[in-house]
C-alpha cells in the first residue's frame, strides 16, 4: 500500500504536523497512514497518545470549519446516534454461497467439471482460507465507502454501513480512482480474532454476562447491533476476498489488468489498504498441488489468529470464471474445501447445577462422551437459565456440540427432529443445591445466586480461586486437595491455608515427605506475592487482574482501601460505578477486614506499590488535564505532574485541586467551574508551579 519512500515521507510529515499547524488534508493523510499501520499491518509507528493528538487536531480544525468535514474523514467513523431499524438493500450482484467439498476426491471431481466448461486446459487455481465470520458486501463510489450490507438472503441484505464504519480495518476512503474504478462492490468477512474474542468474553464475565459462544456469532451479532459504539468495542476486523462488481472509466487500463485474475484483484485491494488473503493465497496449475496446500493449511489451522473452517479454491482467471458460470446457488468456478467438523452430536444425559465462588448457580450439561477435534467432551456449561430456555433443551435430547480450537465447547442446539417424546424438561432449582438456602435472582441479572456467603460450595471455590495461578499461585494446593482438605475439616477458609495442620495432612495418602515439602514451600512462597495478586485472589466481584493492579498501585497497604470513599475509588484509573461499589462494599465488611488482618498476621504481604508520598513541589496536590495544551502533550504533562509528586485524577470532583485546561476543554471545565473549590489553571501556571 505505502512504498518505503511514502512511509518515510508520511513519517516526516507526522513529526511536522505533531509540532506545527497542519492542513485538513495533511492531517487526514497522516491519520489514514497510521490507521493502516495499526489496523492492517499491526505495526504502529506512533504511540496511541500521538495518534490521539493528531486526531484531536483534525477534530478541532473540523469543528472550527464544519464546511471541511467529509464523510470519509478519519473523524467520521464514530457514529454517535443509534441505528434505527436496518433498511433492506439489494446487492448489485447476488451473494451466492459456495459448493462444498470434503476430501481430495471431491476436489479432483470439481477440477474435471471445471475443465469440461473452460475453453483452455491451462487453468490456474487460487486457494485461500475460508474465513469463519459473517459475510458482508461493501460498495465504494468515487473512492468513498458508501454502503456496507449483510448477506441477508443473498439477493438483499441489511444496510449496516454505520456499524461497518466502526471497523478500523475498513478504509472509509480508498483511491480506486487510481485504477480507473468509479464504483466497486467487494465481498468479505467480518471477524473477531481469537484473542479479541477471549478478551471480550473475559470482559463480559467480569460483568456477570454469559460469554458469546464463538467468534463467528460474535461477529455476526455485532453487525446488527443498535449502538455503533458497542460495535467498536468488539474490535472486529474485515477481510475482503472478492470483487463482485466493478465499473471502470476511461483510465481503466491499470485496474482492468489486475482485475483479470482473482489474485490480481486481491493485489489491487491490498494495495489500496484493505485486509485481504493476498499473502495467504497461493496460485497453482494443478488440482493435486491445491489438495496438498489445503491439507497443509488444515494442520496450521489453530496457529492462525482467527477461525477458518476450510479453504476456498477459485479459478484464477476471471474470463474462465465467466465461462463456467453459476447455478442459482453457487458459482461453478469456486468451491469450499471444508476442514474436519468441529461439531458432533451427543446425548444430553443430565444437568447439574454448580455453585461458583460468588454464589452464581450455573447449569452444566453432562453429555455422553464425544470426540471433537481430538478432545473428549463430557461436560458443557449452559451459563444460565435463560440460555437453557432459549435453546429449549431437554434431558434426553440429542444435541449438536461444537468445540472450535481453544474455544470452550458449547451446545449449538438440540436436534428436535430426533425427539421421541420421552425427553424431560430441565427444572431449575429453587434452593441452593449445596446449602439448600433459597436462591435469588437480583433485578436485571440473568443469574440465580445463593447468597449464603458461608455456603460450602462458595467457600471452597473462593479458596480454589485464591490459590489459582493468576492469584497467589500455590500450585501444590490444587483443586482436588482443597476439596479433600475441606471435607476432612482440615481447611475451612482462606486464612486456614496458612495454619494448615501439616501433621494431619502428612497422614493422608499421597502426602509423602516430598509432597509435604513442596506443599509447605509453595504456601510459604506465596506469602511474598505482590499485593495485586492478593487483591485478585480475594475474589471481590468485578475485580479482575487489571483492576487489582490499579488498586495495588494506589495504596501503601491493602487496609488503606477501607478508608477510600466511593468517590475516591471512582477516581482511580478505569474503575467504573459498578466495580467501585463492589470494592467499597467489600472493604466496609468487617468479616473481610478480619480475614485480611488474619492473613497479615500470618505473614502475607499486604504492602502496595504506591510510591511513597513524594517530596516534590506538587506533593499532596491532585491534577486533571483537559483540552489541548499549547506546548505539552497530554501524556508528558501528566508525567511531569507525577514526577513532581502530584496525583492524577480521572474525573472532576471535590477532591480535585487543579484542572489544567487547554484549548477546546469541554465538559470537565464546565463541571470544574461549577465546583468552586477547584483552581482552573493553564499550562503556563502549571509549569510555574514546578519551576524552581
Ligand atoms: S468467495 C461468489 N472466499 O463462505 C463467491 N467466500 O460458505 C464469493 N467465505 O458465502 C465467495 N471465506 O461468505 C469466498 N476466502 C473466501 C471466503 C468466503 C469465507 C464465505 C462467504 C461465502 C461462504 C460460503
Q: Could you read off the pLDDT of 564-577 as tens digits, one per residue?
A: 999 889 888 778 88
Q: How far apart are CA 255 and CA 264, in angstroms?
A: 9
The H or E element containing residue 364 is strand 361-372
What does the pLDDT read at residue 659?
93
- Measured between its terminal Cα atoms, the distance across the chain in Å is 50
3-state secondary structure of 157: strand
Asked whether the predicted pLDDT for residue 613 surpasses 90, the reply is no
Cβ of 130 below 6 Å from ligand 1: yes
Q: Edge to edge, what strands does the sheet with 237-248 contain?
A: 144-150, 134-141, 181-191, 237-248
Residue 544: C-alpha distances to residues 250, 531, 539, 556, 561 (Å): 59, 13, 8, 20, 16
Q: Check residue 87 and report its DSSP letter.
A: P
> What does the buried/exposed string (b/e) look like for 415-432 if buried means 16 or more CB atoms within 10 Å of the residue's CB?
eeeeeeeebeebebeeeb
Cα of 326 from ligand 1 centre, angstroms: 14
Cα of 188 from ligand 1 centre, angstroms: 7
Mean pLDDT, rounded, of the chain? 91
| 347 belongs to the catalytic site | no
What does the pLDDT read at residue 551?
94
Choose from 179-188, 567-576, 620-629 the range with maximum mean pLDDT: 179-188
Paired strand residues for 140: 145, 184
Q: Which residue has the higher pLDDT, 353 or 303?
A: 353
Which residue blocks in 207-347 are alpha helix, DSSP H? 215-223, 228-233, 253-258, 262-271, 287-300, 318-324
3-state secondary structure of 222: helix
Residue 299: C-alpha distances to residues 292, 293, 303, 310, 339 (Å): 11, 10, 9, 11, 10
CB 248 within 8 A of CB 307: no
Q: How far apart are CA 110 and CA 331, in angstroms?
A: 12
pTM of the predicted model over 0.75? no
- Annotated catalytic residue within 130, 194, 314, 549: 130
Cβ of 334 below 6 Å from ligand 1: yes
Q: Which residue has the higher pLDDT, 184 or 102?
A: 184
Mean pLDDT of 525-541: 96
Which residue's CA lies nearest to atom 15 of ligand 1?
A: 130
Give the atom of ligand 1 at the shortest distance from the alpha carbon of 97: 10
Paired strand residues for 129: 311
Q: pLDDT confidence of 512, banded at 50, 70, 90?
A: very high
Which residue blocks in 123-240 are alpha helix, DSSP H? 161-164, 194-206, 215-223, 228-233
Cα of 236 from ligand 1 centre, angstroms: 18
Cα of 189 from ligand 1 centre, angstroms: 8
310: left (phi over 0), alpha (psi -120 to 50) or beta: left
Cβ of 308 below 6 Å from ligand 1: no
What does the pLDDT read at residue 318?
97
What does the pLDDT read at residue 664?
81
Cβ of 98 below 6 Å from ligand 1: yes
What does the pLDDT read at residue 79?
60
3-state secondary structure of 110: helix
Q: How far apart are CA 337 and CA 295, in angstroms?
A: 10
What does the pLDDT read at residue 611?
66
Cβ of 189 below 6 Å from ligand 1: yes
Cβ of 97 below 6 Å from ligand 1: yes
Own/partner pairs for 32-35, CB < 8 Å, 24+ apart?
32/74, 32/171, 32/173, 32/273, 33/2, 33/7, 35/74, 35/168, 35/171
Q: How far apart are CA 670 and CA 260, in angstroms?
A: 59
Give the atom of ligand 1 at the shortest distance from the alpha carbon of 133: 19
User: What is the best residue among 93, 98, 102, 186 to mutate for testing ligand 1's pocket, by most ligand atoms within 8 Å of CB?
Assistant: 98
Q: pLDDT confidence of 628, banded at 50, 70, 90?
A: confident
Which residue's CA lies nearest to atom 8 of ligand 1?
A: 242
CB 432 within 8 A of CB 440: no
User: What is the best residue among 132, 216, 241, 244 to mutate for testing ligand 1's pocket, by most ligand atoms within 8 Å of CB?
Assistant: 241
Q: pLDDT confidence of 426, banded at 50, 70, 90?
A: very high
Cβ of 186 below 6 Å from ligand 1: no
Q: Which residue has the higher pLDDT, 93 or 47?
A: 93
Give the atom of ligand 1 at the shortest distance from the alpha carbon of 334: 5
User: What is the best residue among 94, 126, 135, 190 to mutate for testing ligand 1's pocket, by most ligand atoms within 8 Å of CB?
Assistant: 135
Asked whether the predicted pLDDT for residue 207 surpasses 80, the reply is no
72 contacts: CB under 8 Å, gap ≥ 6: 143, 144, 145, 172, 173
Asked whether the predicted pLDDT for residue 488 surpasses 60, the reply is yes
3-state secondary structure of 507: coil
Q: What is the dihedral of CA 574, 575, 577, 580, to 10 degrees?
A: 180
Q: pLDDT confidence of 405, banded at 50, 70, 90?
A: low
Asked whether the predicted pLDDT for residue 651 surpasses 90, the reply is no
Q: pLDDT confidence of 342, banded at 50, 70, 90?
A: confident
Q: Which residue has the higher pLDDT, 642 or 459?
A: 459
The H or E element containing residue 26 is helix 24-35
Give the atom of ligand 1 at the shortest distance from the alpha carbon of 135: 13
Which residue's CA lies nearest to atom 23 of ligand 1?
A: 97
Mean pLDDT of 99-111: 94
Asked whether the predicted pLDDT for residue 78 surpasses 80, the reply is no
Give the atom of ligand 1 at the shortest distance from the alpha carbon of 331: 2
114 contacts: CB under 8 Å, gap ≥ 6: 123, 315, 324, 332, 333
What does the pLDDT read at residue 684?
92
The H or E element containing residue 58 is helix 48-64
What does the pLDDT read at residue 446?
83
What does the pLDDT read at residue 209?
77
- The C-alpha cell at 666 is 469541554
Cβ of 135 below 6 Å from ligand 1: yes
Q: How far apart are CA 600 and CA 394, in angstroms?
A: 49
Report the largest interatomic distance among the alpha carbons of the chain, rounded to a whole angstrom.
90
Cβ neighbourhood burial of 404 (10 Å; 0-12, 13-18, 19+): buried
Strands 424-425 and 439-440: unpaired
User: How many percent of the chain have pLDDT more than 90?
Assistant: 66
CB 164 within 8 A of CB 138: yes
Cα of 130 from ligand 1 centre, angstroms: 6
Amino acid at each position: 500500500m505505502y512504498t518505503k519512500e511514502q512511509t518515510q515521507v508520511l513519517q516526516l510529515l507526522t513529526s511536522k504536523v505533531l509540532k506545527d499547524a497542519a492542513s485538513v488534508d495533511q492531517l487526514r493523510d497522516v491519520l489514514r497512514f497510521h490507521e493502516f499501520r495499526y489496523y492492517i499491518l499491526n505495526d504502529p509507528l506512533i504511540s496511541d497518545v500521538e495518534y490521539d493528538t493528531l486526531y484531536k487536531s483534525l477534530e478541532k480544525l473540523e469543528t472550527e470549519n464544519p464546511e471541511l468535514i467529509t464523510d470519509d474523514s478519519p473523524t467520521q467513523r464514530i457514529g454517535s446516534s443509534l441505528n434505527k431499524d436496518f433498511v433492506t438493500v439489494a446487492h448489485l450482484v447476488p451473494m451466492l454461497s459456495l459448493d462444498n467439498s470434503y476430501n481430495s476426491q471431491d476436489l479432483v471431481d470439481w477440477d474435471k467439471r471445471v475443465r469440461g466448461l473452460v475453453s483452455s486446459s491451462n487453468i490456474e487455481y487460487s486457494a485461500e482460507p475460508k474465513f469463519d465470520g459473517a459475510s458482508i458486501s461493501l460498495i465504494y463510489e468515487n473512492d468513498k465507502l458508501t454502503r456496507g450490507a449483510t448477506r441477508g438472503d443473498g439477493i438483499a441484505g441489511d444496510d449496516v454501513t454505520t456499524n461497518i464504519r466502526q471497523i478500523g480495518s475498513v478504509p472509509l476512503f480508498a483511491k480506486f480512482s487510481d485504477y480507473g474504478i468509479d464504483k466497486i462492490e467487494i465481498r468479505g468477512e467480518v471477524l473477531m480474532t481469537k484473542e479479541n474474542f477471549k478478551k471480550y468474553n473475559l470482559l463480559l464475565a467480569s460483568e456477570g454476562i454469559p460469554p458469546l459462544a464463538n467468534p463467528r456469532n460474535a461477529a455476526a451479532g455485532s453487525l446488527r447491533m443498535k449502538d455503533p459504539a458497542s460495535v467498536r468495542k468488539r474490535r472486529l476486523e474485515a477481510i475482503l476476498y472478492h470483487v463482485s462488481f466493478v465499473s471502470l472509466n476511461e483510465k481503466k487500463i491499470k485496474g482492468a489488468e489486475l482485475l483479470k485474475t482473482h489474485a490480481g484483484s486481491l493485489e489491487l485491494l491490498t494495495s489500496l489498504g484493505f485486509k485481504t488473503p493476498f499473502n495467504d493465497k497461493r496460485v497453482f496449475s494443478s488440482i493435486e498441488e491445491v489438495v496438498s496446500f489445503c491439507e497443509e493449511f488444515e494442520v496450521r489451522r489453530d496457529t492462525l489468529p482467527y477461525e477458518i473452517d476450510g479453504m476456498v479454491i477459485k479459478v484464477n482467471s476471471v474470463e474462465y470464471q465467466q465461462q463456467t458460470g453459476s447455478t442459482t446457488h453457487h458459482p461453478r468456478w469456486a468451491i469450499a474445501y471444508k476442514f474436519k467438523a468441529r461439531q458432533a452430536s451427543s446425548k444430553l444425559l443430565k444437568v447439574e447445577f454448580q455453585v461458583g465462588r460468588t454464589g452464581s448457580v450455573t447449569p452444566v450439561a453432562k453429555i455422553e462422551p464425544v470426540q471433537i477435534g481430538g478432545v473428549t467432551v463430557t461436560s458443557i456449561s449452559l451459563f444460565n437459565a435463560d440460555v437453557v430456555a432459549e435453546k429449549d433443551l431437554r434431558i434426553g435430547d440429542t444435541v449438536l456440540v461444537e468445540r472450535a480450537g481453544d474455544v470452550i465447547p458449547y451446545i449449538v442446539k438440540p436436534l428436535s427432529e430426533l425427539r421421541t417424546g420421552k425427553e424431560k424438561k430441565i427444572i431449575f432449582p429453587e434452593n441452593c443445591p449445596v446449602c439448600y438456602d433459597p436462591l435469588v435472582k437480583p433485578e436485571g441479572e440473568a443469574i440465580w445466586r445463593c447468597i449464603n456467603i458461608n455456603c460450602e460450595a462458595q467457600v471452597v471455590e473462593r479458596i480454589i480461586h485464591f490459590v489459582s495461578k493468576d492469584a497467589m499461585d500455590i500450585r501444590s494446593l490444587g483443586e482436588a486437595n482443597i476439596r479433600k482438605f475441606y471435607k476432612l475439616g482440615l481447611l475451612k477458609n482462606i486464612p486456614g491455608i496458612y495454619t494448615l495442620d501439616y501433621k494431619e495432612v502428612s497422614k493422608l495418602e499421597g502426602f509423602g515427605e516430598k509432597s509435604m515439602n513442596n506443599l509447605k514451600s509453595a504456601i510459604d512462597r506465596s506469602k511474598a506475592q505482590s499485593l495485586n495478586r492478593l487483591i485478585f485472589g480475594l475474589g471481590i466481584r468485578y475485580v479482575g487482574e487489571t483492576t487489582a493492579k490499579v488498586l495495588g498501585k494506589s495504596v501503601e497497604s491493602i487496609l488503606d482501601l477501607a478508608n477510600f470513599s466511593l468517590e475516591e475509588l471512582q477516581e482511580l484509573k478505569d474503575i467504573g460505578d459498578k466495580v467501585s461499589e463492589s470494592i467499597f462494599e467489600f472493604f466496609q465488611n468487617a468479616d473481610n477486614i478480619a480475614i485480611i488482618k488474619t492473613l497479615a498476621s500470618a505473614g502475607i504481604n499486604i504492602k502496595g506499590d504506591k510510591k511513597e508520598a513524594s517530596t516534590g513541589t506538587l506533593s499532596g496536590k491532585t491534577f486533571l488535564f483537559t483540552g489541548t495544551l499549547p506546548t505539552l502533550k497530554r501524556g508528558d504533562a501528566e508525567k511531569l505532574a507525577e514526577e513532581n509528586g502530584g496525583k492524577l485524577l480521572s474525573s472532576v470532583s471535590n477532591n480535585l485541586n487543579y484542572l489544567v485546561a487547554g484549548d477546546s476543554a469541554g465538559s470537565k471545565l464546565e463541571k470544574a467551574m461549577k465546583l468552586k473549590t477547584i483552581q482552573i489553571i493553564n499550562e503556563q501556571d502549571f509549569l510555574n508551579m514546578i519551576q524552581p
